[in-house]
Structure 1
Amino acid sequence: MSGTAEVAQSYARAWLWKAAVPIAVPVLAALTLLLILLALLAAPDAPASAAFPACSIGGTGATAAGIDLDAGQMGQAQTIVTVAAALGLDPHAATVALATAQQESRIRMLANDGSSPALTAEQAAVTATSLTYPHDGLGSDHDSVNTFQQRWIASWGTVAQLMDPAYAAEAFYRRLQAVPDWRTIPLTLAAQAVQISAAGGAYSRWEPFARELTAMLWPAAQATAANPAGAADGVCPGLPVPAGSWVRPTAGAVTSGYGSRWGALHAGVDIAGPRNSPVYAAADGTVVSAACTSAYCDRDGNLGLAGYGNLIELDHGGGVTTRYGHLSAYTVTSGQRVSAGALIGFQGSTGNSTGVHLHFEVRQHDSPVDPVPWVADRGVDLHAPNPG
């Protein structure tokens, strides 16, 4: 894949050309579209690898019923199964959902360029905002987005909500539970009752695959449901790092720097990548704490919620500590020794947060310092264009 930003730019140019035709759309709709797509064109290029994390809570690539899945697909699949367990549903519900997601998107979080001729210009503009959220690929079927190809026009939710994998899965399960006898009727009928697809009979072909994949992922889903605060098994490999070195803690772009923000000190930097991107220890150290620091951490937070959400603090000696906030889950415990590059958690949006990212802090004797020059002095460029 050539990169999310490059693909988004090509579609954006096409939309700008359409908007230039004065008789094509009402003035208001054209202006809305133009503003959105100018923002896309102005966005910095993202690394080619940023479409999905190299490794996720779902694990590295796997094979189910003879079908190969990469790490991105496994991460999306794990989210779908974990949401089922968190809702108190059984593995059959997850099987129906995975079969549906495989048919609709090959279990990929798809954005939509809004190019469907069935959409008005204003609808197309709203649909195209999906390009601004983390995604694994592009689609163009009406206003459909995400792993289940849910439609905002059909009242599944807003585009922002539908581009959240956990929200998308829960929305699917809520409608599935409303289907009479969904546990006993054929899988393809249950899926079709939710999706109302033009190819409703196609879901049955994926049932063996979905059953095997559910069996693989259900134990981890149950463990997460039993401990929703954030602890998770580490399934991603650590980075090979020479002893004593510092490393970039996660992949993604710096979206907010150190300094005053909204009248208060933003004591670190925000690095935004796809949901469940691996987070690594920036240097050798000992885990001071790994815990939920907000009222809840079993789902995304918001600006009205205090705290870092799931937070890890590492002690590197000499009065130097680092903090890793808003994690979807963490893989370490207090008192544990970790090496630079060790997997410690995953990017999320828990606590006082409005989007998936890692909040990264460096502290000297408990006083925050700007992480960018600090790690730069140790050979790490947080603004590198392709951090990988």
Structure 2
Amino acid sequence: MSGPAEGAVRVYATRWLVQAAAPAAIPVITAFTLLLIPLAVLAAPEASRPAASSACSTGGTGATVAGVDLDAVQMGQAQTIAHVAAGRGLGPYAATVALATAYQESRIQMLANDGSSPELTAEQAAVTATSLQYTHDGLGSDHDSVNTFQQRWIAGWGTVAQLMDPVYAAEAFYARLVEVPNWQTVPLTRAAQAVQVSAAGGAYARWEPLARELTAMLWPAAQAAAVDPFGAAPGVCPGLPAAAGSWVRPSSGTVTSGYGPRWGTLHAGVDLAGPRGAPVYAASGGTVIRAACTSVFCDRDGNLGLGGYGNLVELDHGGGVTTRYAHLSGYTVTPGQQVPAGALLGFQGSTGNSTGVHLHFEVRLDGAPVDPVPWLADRGVDLDAPDAG
């Protein structure tokens, strides 16, 4: 697949990506992008208690599937794999084959490789070890294998940079799967082995019940993403109960970077670092004036070289007051929609000019930013509370 079709599939995938790797930095750091860089967000601990309704977010949230406990990282990577299958129009069986394969190979984790395998030459080891430069969930050392499917750059799966992109990894798996004769009807383990050519080819069958149940959980969101790929996500979480005219905390998490000067520019909002996939709510009732991807891409996590807010929702509350909700993994509203206080707007992510999962929240008066902490404190909302989830 190439050209516009391939680009569309990449957009379809993973608003809920967990630690997805951006394969290359885009050199567009400007004073504007510096406003959005979350300070020390990677080091911030996740909230010990999730926000109301956070357990119902799609992907990015831990779950027990067929008796197997999967954490948020694994669920987010699984959602990526399902989204790519739906975006390519392959159907749920393709996702089931891929998920069983990924669980066998990596426990559905994006694995880097330190190049320590004795099977590699010094040059091959050095190339393999470059995988450590990319966002990863863990470390492997099997030959030159990397990523969720343990694909090998020496075997022609792609460059290390490409293979450390979860969307590319899934696309590469499916590109070979569809070349397997009768792949839709052959037993799962045979289809997986035809793609992987593994020394333990029969092992994939063990995870078929897990993969089938996981596919059933993730497929509705994957299909929704394929229909409307540009950042939109199904409204799978209920809103927060809030009185008309009131203000509420926009999401769970810890304040990791406040409003004010940062490296000679203004950080125009406050960063709340909560669990990936945590719901983001309307701080007060208003009209959606923007719900869009504002960066070059929003189908995976961003980086410091990427400009823009990523997936952004902006609300107009009247009287010159607007609020912005940035770096979302996905949003659930559309421009022109009227929303009450506490309405679900989307989910915490790390799209755009971001280095970790958080919500960048702004309050603006007649277009000029103001400090959200005292603004909300005057309205009964304490963002500095230890955990207001």
Please state how far the C-alpha of 1:196 moved relative to its aligned partner.
4.8
Give the C-alpha shift of residue 206 in structure 1. 2.7
What residue number does 2:98 align with? 97
User: Equivalent residues in 2 for 1:229-248 (5 A)?
Assistant: 229-240=230-241, 244-248=246-250
Shift of 1:186: 3.6
Alignment partner of 1:214 is 2:215: yes
Is residue 311 of structure 1 aligned with residue 336 of structure 2?
no
What amino acid sits opposite 1:283 in the alignment?
Answer: S
How far has the Cα of 1:331 moved from its partner? 0.8
TM-score by length of 1: 0.66
Kept after mapping to 2: 8 A contact 1:314/1:322: yes
Q: Distance in 2 between matches of 1:153 and 1:298?
A: 27
User: How many Å separate the matches in 2 of 1:67 and 1:326?
Assistant: 33
Deviations 1:112-171 (A, max 9, x none): 897x897999999977778x86x5xx6766587765456789877658973x65454334
Bigger fraction of residues in helix: 1
Counting only pairs closer than 5 Å after superposition, residues 160-239 of structure 1 correspond to structure 2 as 162=164, 165-177=166-178, 182-183=183-184, 185-239=186-240
What pairs with 1:145-164 in structure 2 (closer than 5 Å)?
A: 147-148=148-149, 162=164
Question: CA separation in 1, counterparts of 2:131 and 2:186?
Answer: 34
Please name the residue that 1:29 is paired with: none
Give the direction of change, closer, same or farther, for the CA distance of 1:200–1:273 in structure 2 (3 Å limit): farther
Partner Cα distance (1:168, 1:253) in 2: 34
How many correspondences in the alignment?
A: 338
Cα 1:302–1:176 change in 2 (3 A) is farther
Change (3 A) 1:125 1:176: same
Quote the residue 2:373 is aligned against. Answer: 372
Q: Secondary structure at the match of 1:79?
A: helix
The residue aligned with 2:269 is 268
Which structure has more relative contact order (CA 8 Å, sep 6+)? It is 2
Query: Match of 2:280, as an amino acid?
Result: V
Q: CA separation in 1, counterparts of 2:133 and 2:241?
A: 37
Secondary structure, aligned partner of 1:169: helix
Query: Does residue 292 of the first structure (1) align with residue 307 of the second (2)?
Result: no
Distance 2:331 2:59 in 1: 14
Give the letter for the 2:192 counterpart.
A
Q: CA deviation at 1:311?
A: 1.7
8 Å contact kept, 1:59–1:235: no
Q: Distance in 2 between matches of 1:230 and 1:301?
A: 14
Q: Offset at 1:95?
A: 1.5
Query: What's the offset of the Cα at 1:286?
Result: 3.3
2:87 corresponding residue in structure 1: 86
Percent same amino acid among aligned pairs?
A: 66
Whole-Å Cα distance in 2 between the matches of residues 156 and 241 of structure 1? 50
| SS of corresponding position for 1:188 | helix
User: What is the SS of the residue equivalent to 2:97?
Assistant: helix
Contact 1:296–1:309 (Cα < 8 Å) also in 2:
yes
Question: Any conservation in 2 of the 1:278–1:343 contact (CA below 8 Å)?
Answer: yes
Structure 1 residues 317-352: Cα deviation after superposition (integer angstroms, max 9, x where no partner): 443221012323211223434344432112334445
Q: Quick check: 2:250–2:280 contact (8 Å CA) kept in 1?
A: no
Aligned-pair CA distance for 1:305: 5.7
Structure 2: gaps (5+ residues): 1-39
